[in-house]
């Protein structure tokens, strides 16, 4: 490791040289209270900015140990520090003069969710924070003076006011950590008490707009119907009252515009923790919950959808069904099966985004179109078995068919944004009507032995393990598949695009980028034509858990990766066209 004096001398000697000479700065430098690492230097001023990171030892940073010992607290602290660092950065962005991305300083922009990100990692001994800096230039000539300002003046100030406990608002740090511990406590209670979701009274569910995740001002706060109200005791906050949804089938009904979808959407993001002030801090859903929806046009590979679809007119085998262009109902059928495979314990379904013929078929239609002529067994006829035989609960928004009343354990009516428990009234009414006949044949959970193959991929060939690892920068690099992320919605690996638009619970484009890295790793190092999808996801998740991002990156870990859930790793592999 060199000293920061040496860095300054090196930098000054580069002034006015041609841009690639910046590359010689890669390395690590002792800056007193932290170490600066220049991990990757951009090739020209217009390329993606350079990757840097700083490391601060705990003994210098001074955070109480209990703030980062438990996983949930550590993630919250990491998130807090990332936001703090980002807010410091904002003041300085693009103040450097020059061409291209000169002076651009960037770190993750966190949204409402608290995610585990490569932008900040806290280990047993230190805090690591990763970010990008556009190394300044005049045209294509090095502008050392501007970089000197960034690295020697601005950066140390940002680091000082972000990663040292004594410099921070202690109350705020504590608040973030304690909130996460309380949220974790709710998750634990859900498991212990056989609940699938909790929505605290007073929660603000609607969002500002379709493109803003911020809470809607002047909205009606959530209030639980008294029959479903529970008071939980949390370690920091004490008692918290709200609606507890038990396992089983819960139906959300109500007139249009009364807030049904808003409640379901809040529940689907409740798999993540939210920051204080979001309004959904205590909307907590079973971690494995999956939003199921129709997804016309997606690819399906070797999925046994025979639980729902049989006897297709083209005689296609539905016990190992593949298509490059699924219909609404087949995509939703595949979604159910894939997410049983992915270990989901709760399905969230909104009529608004479902294929009607997949969900329900009324008696009259059953009489007109005989069973032999109808390939689809609707979800209505499978939902009870899914719960009773596979242990998967459902929360379903339905406004158009009364058939679901018969299979529901709990029925909530959204009335002007207030949920009302109407289970008893409806069950009484049910006795006056004839229940829809169930025609479904026996319920058998498919076996999940299908293997994933990476067809025509020369997997592993150009990625011998020996080549990996740090050290060899550009020279040591070999041909990895090229990753490109298109916001949250999709990414490409070399020329193939993986479309994740309808994977609604992906919260952040950094998760999409992480999925691209995971899939690339799977293709290059895991898939062998024998491993099943479950094996593959287990390996990916374990590798991330044990070895961290390093296992998935070439020579350095960039800022800009966020950990996806297991369910989204499945969703990604399942949408890969191969
Ligand atoms: P539904 O699915 O029942 O038709 P939505 O959930 O789509 O209704 O909600 C309709 C509108 O009402 C949306 O614009 C939403 O932002 C707004 N909304 C939902 N919940 C609330 C609330 N608690 N307070 C105020 N507005 C709300
Ligand atoms: Mg709706």
pLDDT digits (tens, 9 = 90+) for 303-338: 999 999 998 888 888 999 999 999 999 999 999 999
Residue 470 binned pLDDT confidence (cut-offs 50, 70, 90): very low
Residue 109's nearest CA partner among 548, 553, 559 is 559
Residue 217 lies in a domain: yes
Residue 465 lies in a domain: no
Residue 454 binned pLDDT confidence (cut-offs 50, 70, 90): low
Angle between helices 155-163 and 71-90 (to 10 degrees): 150
Identify whether residues 205 and 334 lie together within a single domain: yes
State yes or no: pLDDT of 459 exceeds 60.
no
| Percent of the chain predicted with pLDDT > 90 | 82
The range of the structural domain enclosing residue 153 comes to 2-168
* Sign of the alpha-carbon dihedral angle for 469, 471, 473, 477: negative
| pLDDT digits 0-9 by tens, 64-105 | 999 999 999 999 999 999 999 999 988 776 566 677 788 888
Q: Is 258 in the pocket of ligand 1 (CB under 6 A)?
A: yes
State yes or no: pLDDT of 457 exceeds 60.
no
More confident residue, 375 or 127: 127
Distance 290 CA to ligand 1 centre (A): 21
| pLDDT digits 0-9 by tens, 362-374 | 888 888 888 788 8
State yes or no: pLDDT of 349 exceeds 90.
yes
Ligand nearest to the CA of 212: 1
State yes or no: pLDDT of 536 exceeds 80.
yes
User: Would you state the pLDDT for residue 323?
Assistant: 94
Burial of 209 (0-12, 13-18, 19+ CB in 10 A): exposed
Which element (helix H / strand E) includes 110?
Answer: none
Give one word for 128, left, alpha or beta, with left for phi > 0 and alpha for psi -120 to 50: beta
Q: Is 299 in the pocket of ligand 1 (CB under 6 A)?
A: no
DSSP annotation of 375 reads -
Identify whether residues 127 and 244 lie together within a single domain: no
Distance 503 CA to ligand 2 centre (A): 18
Q: Quick check: 4 and 31 in contact, CB under 8 A? A: yes
Residue 512 lies in a domain: yes
Residue nearest to atom 1 of ligand 1 (CA): 257
Residues constituting the chain: 578
Identify whether residues 281 and 400 lie together within a single domain: yes
Identify whether residues 436 and 514 lie together within a single domain: no
Residue 474 lies in a domain: no
Identify whether residues 177 and 152 lie together within a single domain: no
Distance 400 CA to ligand 2 centre (A): 11
Closest atom of ligand 1 to 262 CA is: 6
User: Would you state the pLDDT for residue 564?
Assistant: 98
Identify whether residues 178 and 120 lie together within a single domain: no
Residue 144 lies in a domain: yes
User: Would you state the pLDDT for residue 412?
Assistant: 98
Closest atom of ligand 1 to 417 CA is: 23
User: Would you state the pLDDT for residue 363?
Assistant: 81
Distance 261 CA to ligand 2 centre (A): 4
Q: How many domains does the chain have?
A: 3
Identify whether residues 178 and 93 lie together within a single domain: no
| pLDDT digits 0-9 by tens, 176-210 | 999 999 999 999 999 999 999 999 999 999 999 99
- Which of 419, 446, 473 is a domain's end point? 446
User: Would you state the pLDDT for residue 316?
Assistant: 86
Identify whether residues 265 and 249 lie together within a single domain: yes
Residue 478 lies in a domain: no
User: Would you state the pLDDT for residue 437?
Assistant: 80
For residues 84 and 78, give the distance between their C-alpha atoms in angstroms, rounded to a whole number: 10
Q: Is 94 in the pocket of ligand 1 (CB under 6 A)?
A: no
Identify whether residues 302 and 416 lie together within a single domain: yes
User: Would you state the pLDDT for residue 476?
Assistant: 40
Identify whether residues 559 and 539 lie together within a single domain: yes
Average pLDDT estimate for 511-522: 97
Distances (CA, A) of 488 to 111, 113, 200, 466: 13, 14, 29, 33
| Percent of the chain predicted with pLDDT > 70 | 95
Pocket test for ligand 1, best of 221, 262, 283, 396 (most atoms within 8 A of CB): 262
For residues 495 and 481, give the distance between their C-alpha atoms in angstroms, rounded to a whole number: 9
Please count the other Cβ atoms lying within 10 Å of the Cβ belonging to residue 266: 23
List for the chain the helix, strand, coil content (%; round to 5): 35, 20, 40
Give one word for 378, left, alpha or beta, with left for phi > 0 and alpha for psi -120 to 50: beta
- Which of 168, 191, 206 is a domain's end point? 168
Identify whether residues 227 and 264 lie together within a single domain: yes
State yes or no: pLDDT of 21 exceeds 80.
yes
Strand partners, 199: 243, 283
CATH of the domain at 184: 3.40.50
- When the pLDDT of each residue in the chain is averaged and rounded to a whole number, the result is 92
Q: Is 417 in the pocket of ligand 1 (CB under 6 A)?
A: yes
Distance 219 CA to ligand 1 centre (A): 9
Residue nearest to atom 7 of ligand 1 (CA): 261
- Which of 114, 142, 168 is a domain's end point? 168
Distance 417 CA to ligand 1 centre (A): 7
Residue 152 lies in a domain: yes
Residue 476 lies in a domain: no
Torsion of CA 120, 269, 575, 383, to 10 degrees: 150
Identify whether residues 155 and 179 lie together within a single domain: no
Question: Of 26-40, 363-377, 400-414, 504-518, where does mean pLDDT reach its minimum?
Answer: 363-377
């Amino acid at each position: 490791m060199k000293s920061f004096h040496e860095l300054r001398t090196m930098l000054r000697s580069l002034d006015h040289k041609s841009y690639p000479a910046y590359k010689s700065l890669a390395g690590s430098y002792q800056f007193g209270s932290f170490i600066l690492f220049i991990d990757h230097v951009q090739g020209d001023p217009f390329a993606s900015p350079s990757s840097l990171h700083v490391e601060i030892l705990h003994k210098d940073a001074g955070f109480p140990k209990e703030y980062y010992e438990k996983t949930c607290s550590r993630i919250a602290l990491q998130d807090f520090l990332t936001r703090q660092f980002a807010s410091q950065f904002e003041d300085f962005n693009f103040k450097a003069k020059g061409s291209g991305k000169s002076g651009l300083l960037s770190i993750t922009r966190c949204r409402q969710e608290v995610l585990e990100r490569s932008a900040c990692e806290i280990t047993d001994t230190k805090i690591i924070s990763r970010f990008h800096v556009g190394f300044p230039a005049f045209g294509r000539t090095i502008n050392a003076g501007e970089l000197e300002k960034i690295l020697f003046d601005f950066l140390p100030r940002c680091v000082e006011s972000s990663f040292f406990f004594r410099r921070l608002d202690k109350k705020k740090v504590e608040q973030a950590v304690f909130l996460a511990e309380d949220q974790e406590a709710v998750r634990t209670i859900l498991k212990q008490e056989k609940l699938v979701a909790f929505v605290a009274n007073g929660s603000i569910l609607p969002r500002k707009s379709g493109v803003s995740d911020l809470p809607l001002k002047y909205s009606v706060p959530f209030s639980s119907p008294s029959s479903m109200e529970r008071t939980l005791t949390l370690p920091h906050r004490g008692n918290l009252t709200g609606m507890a949804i038990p396992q089983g089938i819960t139906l959300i009904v109500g007139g249009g515009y009364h807030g049904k979808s808003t409640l379901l959407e809040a529940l689907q993001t409740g798999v993540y923790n939210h920051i204080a002030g979001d309004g959904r801090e205590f909307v907590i859903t079973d971690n494995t919950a999956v939003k199921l929806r129709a997804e016309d046009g997606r690819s399906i590979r070797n999925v046994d959808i025979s639980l729902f679809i049989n006897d297709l007119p083209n005689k296609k085998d539905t016990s190992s069904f593949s298509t490059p262009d699924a219909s609404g109902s087949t995509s939703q059928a595949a979604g159910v099966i894939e997410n049983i495979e992915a270990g989901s314990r709760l399905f969230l379904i909104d009529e608004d985004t479902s294929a009607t013929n997949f969900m329900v078929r009324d008696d009259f239609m059953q009489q007109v179109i005989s069973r032999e002529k109808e390939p689809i067994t609707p979800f209505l006829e499978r939902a009870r078995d899914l719960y009773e035989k596979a242990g998967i609960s459902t929360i379903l928004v339905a406004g158009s068919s009364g058939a679901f009343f018969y299979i529901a354990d709990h029925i909530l009516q959204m009335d002007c944004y207030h949920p009302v428990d109407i289970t008893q009234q409806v069950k009484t009414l049910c006795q006056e009507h004839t229940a829809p006949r169930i025609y479904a044949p026996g319920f058998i959970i498919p076996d999940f032995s299908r293997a994933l193959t990476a067809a025509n991929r020369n997997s592993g060939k150009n990625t011998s393990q020996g080549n990996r690892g740090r050290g060899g920068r550009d020279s040591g690099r070999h041909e990895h598949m090229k990753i490109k992320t298109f916001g949250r919605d999709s990414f490409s690996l070399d020329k193939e695009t993986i479309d994740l638009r309808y994977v609604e619970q992906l919260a952040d484009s950094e998760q999409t980028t992480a999925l691209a890295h995971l899939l690339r790793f799977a293709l290059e190092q895991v898939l062998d034509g024998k491993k099943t999808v479950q094996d593959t996801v287990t390996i990916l998740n374990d590798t991330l858990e044990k070895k961290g991002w390093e296992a998935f990156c070439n020579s350095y870990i960039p800022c800009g990766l966020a950990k996806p859930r297991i369910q989204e790793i499945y969703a990604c592999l399942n949408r890969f066209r191969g």
